[in-house]
Amino acid sequence: MRRQEAIEVIMATISPQDAVVSTTGLISREIFERFDSDRNVYVPGSMGLASSIGLGLAIARSTKRVVVIDGDASLLMNLGSIVTIGNKQPANLLHIVIDNGAYGSCNEERSMSDTARLDKLVLDVGYQYVRTVSNQEDLKHATMEFERGPGFILAKIELGGRRDFRRPLELSAIKNRFMLFLKQSTKGEQL
Amino acid sequence: MNAGDKTVFNALVDEHSEKADRMHQLFLELGVDFASGVPCGVLRHIIKNFDDDATVLHVPANRESEAVGLAAGAYFGGKIPVVYMQNSGLFAASNDIASLLVPYEIPVFFVVSYRGCGDEDAAQHLTTGGATEALLQSFGLPFVVFGGQNLETLITSMFEEMRKRGLPAFLLLKRGWHR
């Protein structure tokens, strides 16, 4: 599976009502260029914090499903976050890690995800739903079958892929429309 | 831990701060309903008040960067966050403040204990202590060193400024501030 295919499957399978928080580098840039939407927020700086931002949002809006699209190196940069997620048990949080075993947005320098056993770690710290997938069909099913979190999908992909995406630059405007999306879509929900 | 240490520890916990209670009441009046951070002994009264108040969602973090991310996510979801940490952690989280909160214009109120200044003797705090105000100045971010000002006026005006500019604001508290 390639990064492009993994992102396509995730964005086509989750509900349009789900909020998406995507990590630094090519993952956010690809989602921004190909699947930009009010329900997305990108984390172009502060590498590692996508899962923390997703957790803060999931706790603040416990009836809104939050999908974090993380990378292996960015999760490893803020690995304590999985402990916080396991501790807080947000049922509405799905944490997907697109794992190419490298700092793919730099020069594909190796990360340590090959020995990290991320799927075992998240189970040990209390995630309720854990799947490891390496093709589009399994990724689609793992995403569809997610019901109660915290959930974790480790999506293994190949290195490489397109790099010439635009960057999200108007971050304040992205924030405003994201907050409006959250406000409107939680109307009438039990908060 | 010997009995002596335990006594000291308990004394810290039991101590009460009227200033911290007033600060907490002001936070509530200003709408604060989310808190995250990493503890410092200087901030213990503030943290305990967050812990004891069911109207504030308190999500402690393992690192200061994590607290910045949690606060940003909570803010997106409509919460009004406060983040607490020691100034050593301010340096650890400085890129996250600069590259997440500033460009996204996320107003987060930071309560930061100010170690390594004045009569401080702990060697590990001296370099960051000497650079704390310079760090915030170089980022162009508003901060106040608490020196016994009227808390109501100070915190209300800091929140107003923070909301107007869409930037985080920092209240620096030295040891003994709470007396």
DSSP state, residue A135: S
How close A41 comes to chain B (CA, Å)?
A: 9
pLDDT above 70 coverage of chain A, percent: 97
Do the domain assignments include residue B104? yes
Number of domains in chain B: 1
- The yes-or-no verdict on residue B9 having pLDDT over 70 is no
> What is the per-residue pLDDT for A191?
44
Do the domain assignments include residue B161? yes
Identify whether the C-beta of residue A180 lies closer than 8 Å to the C-beta of residue A38. yes
How close A140 comes to chain B (CA, Å)?
A: 26
Sign of the alpha-carbon dihedral angle for A21, A141, A75, B83? positive
> What is the per-residue pLDDT for A190?
45
Do the domain assignments include residue A48? yes
Chain A interface, best mutation among B58, B62, B104, B167, by max A CB count within 10 A = B104
HEC profile of A149-181: CCEEEEEECCCCCCCCCCCCCCHHHHHHHHHHH
Do the domain assignments include residue A191? no
Chain B interface, best mutation among A24, A42, A49, A79, by max B CB count within 10 A = A49
Sign of the alpha-carbon dihedral angle for B154, B160, B161, B163? positive
Identify whether the C-beta of residue A96 lies closer than 8 Å to the C-beta of residue A46. no
> B3 or B59: which carries more pLDDT confidence?
B59
> What is the per-residue pLDDT for B10?
53
Domain membership of residue B74 as a residue range: 18-123+154-169
Contacts of B68 in chain A (CB under 8 A): 46, 49, 52
- Here the CATH number for the domain that contains residue A85 is 3.40.50.970
pLDDT above 70 coverage of chain B, percent: 92
Sheet holding B109-113, edge to edge: B57-60, B34-37, B81-86, B109-113, B169-173, B143-145
> What is the per-residue pLDDT for B119?
79
Helix extents (H) in A2-124: 3-13, 26-35, 50-60, 72-77, 80-88, 113-116, 118-124
- Give the one of A59, A81, A175 whose C-beta lies nearest to B104's C-beta: A175
In the three-class reduction of DSSP (H, G, I as helix; E, B as strand; rest coil), residue B103 is classed as helix
Do the domain assignments include residue A161? yes
Distance from C-alpha of B68 to C-alpha of A31, rounded to nearest angstrom: 23
Which pair of tokens denotes residue B7? Answer: 């006594």
Could you list the pLDDT tens digit for every one of the 191 residues in chain A?
A: 999 999 999 999 999 999 999 999 999 999 999 999 999 999 999 999 999 999 999 999 999 999 999 999 999 999 999 999 999 999 999 999 999 999 999 999 999 999 999 999 999 999 999 999 999 999 999 999 999 999 999 999 999 999 999 999 999 999 999 999 999 986 655 44
Contacts of B100 in chain A (CB under 8 A): 43, 45-46, 49, 53
Mean pLDDT estimate for chain B: 93
Distance from C-alpha of A11 to C-alpha of A72, rounded to nearest angstrom: 19
Q: Do B78 and A172 touch (CB under 8 A)?
A: no
Domain membership of residue A98 as a residue range: 3-184
Number of domains in chain A: 1
What is the tens place of the pLDDT at every residue in B83-134? Answer: 999 999 999 999 999 999 999 999 999 999 999 998 777 999 999 999 999 9
What band does B16 get if pLDDT is binned at 50, 70 and 90?
confident
Q: Do A56 and B73 touch (CB under 8 A)?
A: yes
Contacts of A61 in chain B (CB under 8 A): 77-78
Distance from C-alpha of A50 to C-alpha of A186, rounded to nearest angstrom: 21
Do the domain assignments include residue A117? yes
A173 touches B: beta carbon within 8 Å: no
How close B69 comes to chain A (CA, Å)?
A: 5
What is the tens place of the pLDDT at every residue in A57-113? Answer: 999 999 999 999 999 999 999 999 999 999 999 999 999 999 999 999 999 999 999
Among the listed residues B179, B6, B68, the one whose alpha carbon sits nearest the alpha carbon of residue A48: B68
- Here the CATH number for the domain that contains residue B114 is 3.40.50.970
Q: What is the ipTM of this complex?
A: 0.97
How close A49 comes to chain B (CA, Å)?
A: 6
In the three-class reduction of DSSP (H, G, I as helix; E, B as strand; rest coil), residue A40 is classed as strand
